[in-house]
Structures are given as structure tokens and as C-alpha cells.
Chain A
Amino acid sequence: MFAVLLVLLSSVGNGAGSVFLKKLSFKKTNNILSLLLNRTFILGITIYATAAVLYVIALKYGDISVLYPIAATQYIWVCIFAVRFFREKINILKWSGIIMIIAGAVFIGLGL
């Protein structure tokens, strides 16, 4: 249960981290240093790294077949964030694609 909570937190973190990366991608500069020393990048990469650490810890303590599908919910969070912050359009085909990805993670989890 503890591991499930960690992975859920980690998948939301992955989604949030990608929002920061997308926000950075609107900057027109190609100067890597100015991108990396940006507050947005540092915040984003911190969230990303925390999510990764939580995931690794969770994998150590939880059953991977349960954790895989929960980790795959990050694609739902990303879509919700994309609609919220970037006004992206998500139609029924895209949502069914997300559902299929999560179903795939469920099956891979079952096979492990």
C-alpha cells in the first residue's frame, strides 16, 4: 500500500515535470546553459528526479505487477495538465490511446 502511494505520487510528479519541460520548450534560445540554469528547468528536473527516486524506492518494496499500471497513469495526468495549462485538444481517439497504454501496462504487469 505504501509502495502504491509512492508510485502514484511519482506518476503525478512525472506529469508535472513534463509540464515544466514543455513550458521551457517555448523558449526560442538554443543555448543549453541558459536553458539549464533556468528556474523552470531546475524546478522541473527536481520534480522529475524526486519522482524517479520515489519510483525506485517503490519498486524495491512493492509488487511490480501492481505498480506498473499505476505508473502508467502518468499519461492521464499529462493529458489533464496539457489541457489545463496549454489548452491542447484531446479527442476520443487520443483518450482511447491512453486507455490502451494503461491496459498494456496491466498486461505487462500480469506477465511479470
Chain B
Amino acid sequence: MKSKIKVYNDNHKADSTVEIHKASSADDNSMQRTTKPWAVMLVLFCTIIMSFSQILWKIGSASLGLDIFKALADLPLVFGFLLYGLCAVLLIFALRGGDLSTLYPVLALSFVLTNLLAWLILGEDINLFKWIGIFSIVAGISFIGIGSRNSHHIKNRGEAGLP
């Protein structure tokens, strides 16, 4: 069963790592396979779009019933979904610059941004619990960032046979 599932990877393949290694061991370019900064920026941009779409959902869903046709005529809701779709397209390009498990969690910043936007646009207040949550999410994303850099670094050193 395991062999039936195709594994997609860009440069994690055993045969390609050898080549990468020859190139990287000379100048110790351990950043070769880490997340690209532009990819993070693009995901951040997606996060902003996503937060706006969530605000639009919230505005739209207030008047939402079970009537599908009414939902389709609900402009904030439809516009929110369109923004969400745009976000998915941008993500395809963003994911070219790094691991899915590193870049995708950056989208969790939408929890933070949505709260800030709800504060600015909808006038909801941010209490202590929300602040703790916001800091926890930001810290978590930082951990993932540090973790991804760390794993690549250790992996590269190990392959190069360095201590």
C-alpha cells in the first residue's frame, strides 16, 4: 500500500542531494534548501488577503440563511470567497520557495490579523486572553521558522560529514 502513494519532492531525492552537496560543501551554503524569504513574504501577503476575506464572511454570514440563492446574492460573502480563491492561487507560487510544513503554518497569523481587523473595522475589543493567544501564535510561528532552519542545517552538516 505504501508504494502506491507517489512521493512528490523537489530536491529531497537521494540522487539530487549528492549534486547539491558537491556544490554546497565548498562554500558551506547551508541556506540552499531552507525557506526562501520571498516565499514567506508572499504567504504573509496571502494571510492579509485571507483575514480580509474572513472579515467579509463575518459581515456576510450575519444575514445568512439556508437559502443558497440568497447566499449567492450576498455580496460580502461572495467577495470573501473570491479573495480566498485568489489566496489559494498565490499560495501555489509561494509554496515553490519552501517546505509545506514551514510555510503553511504562517497562515495562522490570520488569527492575529483577523482580531486586529475586527478591532479596527468591527470595533471588537482585544482582551487579555486574546493578547496571550496572539503572542502564543506569533511565538509558535517563530519556533517553526527556527525549527526549519535548524533541521536543514543539521541535516546538511551530517551529510557533509562535519562534526
Contact = CB atoms under 8 A, between A and B. Distances in A.
Interface of A: 17-19, 21-26, 32, 35-36, 41, 44-45, 48-49, 52, 56, 59-60, 68, 72, 75, 78-79, 81-94, 96-101, 103-112
Interface of B: 5, 7-10, 12, 57-58, 61, 64, 77, 81, 84-85, 88-89, 91-96, 99-102, 104-105, 108, 111, 115, 126-148, 150-151, 155
Contact of A60 (B61, B96, B104, B144): B61
Contacts of B145: 97
B140 to A, nearest CB: 3
Contacts of A45: 85, 88
B39 to A, nearest CB: 10
Majority SS at the chain B contact face: helix
Given A94-B101, A100-B137, A101-B141, A18 B61 contact: no
Given A93-B143, A105-B137, A111-B130, A22 B95 contact: yes
Nearest to B143: A97
A97 B142 contact: yes
